[in-house]
A and B are shown apart, each in its own frame.
Chain A
């Protein structure tokens, strides 16, 4: 790795993270949330292999199987362990596939938003002055609207589809990253090693890319984890409200919404099980993110 020695503080940070991780991984909450997260990810990745049926294949799903209670047998002999929904989809399979959609949307949107936010934040912090003012006012405007409202309007215009949900989520989230990065980067910007790099007449690109970026990124790791959980919730809310993913390919949110109409008539399983899954996923990510925050915070570490 070709790196100017003055930027070595990032190595220290990395070492700190590694030590802290090792030290704290023995903690039960970290283990539990991490384990759950790992399990959820496995379920999502291998959904087509482990799900009893393919809930997205309309030639297989039959309306005659609609609203079977948990444990009942479907027309083709498969047992619906968690029951079926109003369209005759096996809830267990639908949860696994829905989880896939939800996680895909959340991770993709968090990553893309992170990259955009990172760039904007770094540029604002490094160049300062008018650039900074201009970019940060855009961020302010963006953040002054509630995320769900912006996403709703965007999806009403864009239409349905997983790609469109991702676009909408990126648009509502990048500003949060941009602001966080800028706050960290503006502190780093004033430190001596950046000044030294500037004196060495290194190019702006190189200073931002090799020096400012590695030192501003650690708060983002925590933020990205928490925002992923937030994305899942927003996606679920949007699907619940009927914009978002197509009805023939439900995510966790649309499954919950589908079941909502049947709650009074006693078909609790359509809402309950996807609800539990959503809760577990979001909680696991949040707890894990929170642990990360504790670990990475220099003031809290001993």
Chain B
């Protein structure tokens, strides 16, 4: 029924487009959006994946929301505070109704947490956010969450899980995909999903927050950047994300198109292997004889960083769509340290450092990276290879499909150890939890404790480890942040990894549409509005 009443509206829009009318009048309430990818499921607890999570915020709410810079905001919970060292108390919002009409209460939260951790066949589970937490209902609108040890990030974790109606605790992923169970409390209601073709959502007129402007949003997945640009230029869609850097000049020169840019928290970095344990011979001397990684020496890591001309990469490869980086966070984002600036290009000093470290005769290096995972990834690798070759490191590049790369990157070597000597990869803090990059990449690898799963190069500094652990076990959030920044300072000065740049995220829309953007490169439809 819903669908049949919708069709004429879409049809009208189509006519309006084809006749070249401005859409700002009668059918302004329909918005067509082209995204680079579509969610893998409509089940908000199926897969912990950026695109799934950002789409889930349209139909569902979490207890805690995040703004575009991942600062925490009240969501289905109006306030939260620690009541003792191990317990957080959340006050819930009164009078909120799910899209199917049932009222929201603390029971729904408990049911959700149960389901989120146990979705069958989940490729990456949300259990990581519920693990070790005990949920206790105090009354309909009060909930206590306790952990075994002091844990300051419970509110961050609660911002990751979409709350569903307790009635659907046993619903299957398929029930969500077809819409049988897709009832949230979010700004839009789910209309339909035809995988690979379109995804449609409708305004929730009873939303507790500020209402969105659009009656309907029609999302089309268009994976190819140039095709997205062409679709916007042809007027087939009103809004696109991820403009290809090479297409940007055309869109900028065209009238009737607005472009939005912001430095995202997506970092591209190099990891340089720094343990004695031999790995596959991707470093050889000039006679092709394998040698131990020269990057065990901090001077060599610094030399690599100084040899990279980040500004040239930003201008020449990225068409201005990257900001040179010297740490995990871009300026203004959680965890940013004022003490760390991106290294400036200094090939002379790089050569001196290489000589001082005893590699004046040069060596051969094979650098690895994914193809097509990050914006211009292979071209960046090529540019870095040029730059390293110029300071005497005879570099060649091997790229491979992302799925192959990440597998080998993590455990392609002997004994399932990381394989590569030098590799380029990317990172974006998806959860907004400030210690996340430190815990994953910087802390010494201690699998059983959950530390260092992404530490592929063997970096280890007990002082840094202690700072990270202290910050993570203190309920004093301000003190924790200070510890994390201090850990970042030390690790980055030792080149635990070599930051290259933060990508600049781009969106483009027809004139008259504005988009509120921040450090997140994914698209949040409820931030799209019409110019007043």
Q: Do these two chains interact?
A: yes
Of the residues A63, A86, A246, A265, contact of B312 by C-beta under 8 Å: A63
Contact check, A247 vs B378: say whether CB atoms are below 8 A apart.
yes
Contact check, A63 vs B229: say whether CB atoms are below 8 A apart.
no
Which among B86-94, B174-182, B263-271, B383-391 touches the partner chain? B383-391
Contact check, B400 vs A160: say whether CB atoms are below 8 A apart.
yes
Nearest chain A CB to B424 CB, angstrom units? 13
Contact check, A63 vs B399: say whether CB atoms are below 8 A apart.
no
**A87 interface residue (CB < 8 Å to B):** yes
Contact check, A247 vs B399: say whether CB atoms are below 8 A apart.
yes
What is the number of residues of chain B that contact chain A, defined by CB distance less than 8 Å?
Answer: 36
Nearest residue (CB) in A for B230 is A264
Of the residues B250, B309, B316, B390, contact of A66 by C-beta under 8 Å: B316
Tell me whether A246 and B396 are in contact in the complex, defined as CB-CB below 8 angstroms, given that A58-B386, A265-B246 are known contacts: yes
Nearest chain A CB to B383 CB, angstrom units? 4
Tell me whether A264 and B226 are in contact in the complex, defined as CB-CB below 8 angstroms, given that A242-B371, A247-B399, A248-B382 are known contacts: yes
Q: How far is the CA of A29 from the CA of B312 in the complex (A)?
A: 49
Complex interface: chain A residues within 8 A of B217 (CB): none
**B244 interface residue (CB < 8 Å to A):** yes
Q: How extensive is the interface on chain A, given as a class?
A: 20 to 34
Contact check, B386 vs A59: say whether CB atoms are below 8 A apart.
yes
Tell me whether A247 and B382 are in contact in the complex, defined as CB-CB below 8 angstroms, given that A59-B390, A242-B371, A265-B250 are known contacts: yes
Nearest chain A CB to B421 CB, angstrom units? 16
Contact check, B399 vs A61: say whether CB atoms are below 8 A apart.
no
Q: How far is the CA of A63 from the CA of B376 in the complex (A)?
A: 13
Tell me whether A61 and B386 are in contact in the complex, defined as CB-CB below 8 angstroms, given that A86-B379, A242-B372, A265-B249 are known contacts: yes
Of the residues A86, A242, A246, A265, contact of B397 by C-beta under 8 Å: A246
Q: CB-defined interface of A223-244 with B at 8 Å, one 1/0 digit per residue?
A: 0000000000000000000100
Q: CB-defined interface of A247-273 with B at 8 Å, one 1/0 digit per residue?
A: 110000000000001111111000000
Complex interface: chain A residues within 8 A of B389 (CB): 57-59
Q: How far is the CA of A261 from the CA of B224 in the complex (A)?
A: 10
Tell me whether A86 and B317 are in contact in the complex, defined as CB-CB below 8 angstroms, given that A264-B246, A265-B250 are known contacts: yes
Nearest residue (CB) in B for A157 is B404
**B346 interface residue (CB < 8 Å to A):** no
**B401 interface residue (CB < 8 Å to A):** yes
Nearest residue (CB) in B for A249 is B396
Complex interface: chain A residues within 8 A of B244 (CB): 261
Contact check, A246 vs B383: say whether CB atoms are below 8 A apart.
no
**B170 interface residue (CB < 8 Å to A):** no
Contact check, A248 vs B385: say whether CB atoms are below 8 A apart.
yes
Complex interface: chain B residues within 8 A of A247 (CB): 371, 378, 381-382, 397, 399
Nearest chain B CB to A262 CB, angstrom units? 5
Nearest residue (CB) in B for A66 is B316
**A54 interface residue (CB < 8 Å to B):** no
Q: How far is the CA of A264 from the CA of B225 in the complex (A)?
A: 11
Nearest chain A CB to B407 CB, angstrom units? 12
Contact check, A87 vs B379: say whether CB atoms are below 8 A apart.
yes
Contact check, B383 vs A63: say whether CB atoms are below 8 A apart.
yes
Nearest residue (CB) in B for A254 is B378
**B313 interface residue (CB < 8 Å to A):** yes
Interface residues of B (CB under 8 A from A): 225-226, 229-230, 244, 246-250, 309, 312-313, 316-317, 371-372, 378-379, 381-383, 385-387, 389-390, 394-401, 404
Interface residues of A (CB under 8 A from B): 57-59, 61-64, 66-67, 86-88, 156, 159-160, 242, 246-248, 261-267
Q: A58-B382, A63-B313, A246-B399 are in contact. List 10 more A-B contacts (CB 8 A).
A: A61-B386, A87-B379, A87-B386, A242-B399, A242-B401, A247-B397, A248-B396, A261-B226, A265-B246, A265-B250
Interchain residue pairs with CB less than 8 A apart (30): A57-B389, A58-B385, A59-B386, A59-B390, A61-B386, A63-B312, A63-B383, A63-B387, A64-B312, A64-B316, A66-B316, A66-B317, A87-B382, A87-B383, A88-B316, A156-B404, A160-B398, A160-B400, A242-B401, A246-B398, A247-B371, A247-B378, A247-B382, A248-B382, A261-B225, A261-B244, A264-B226, A264-B230, A264-B246, A264-B250
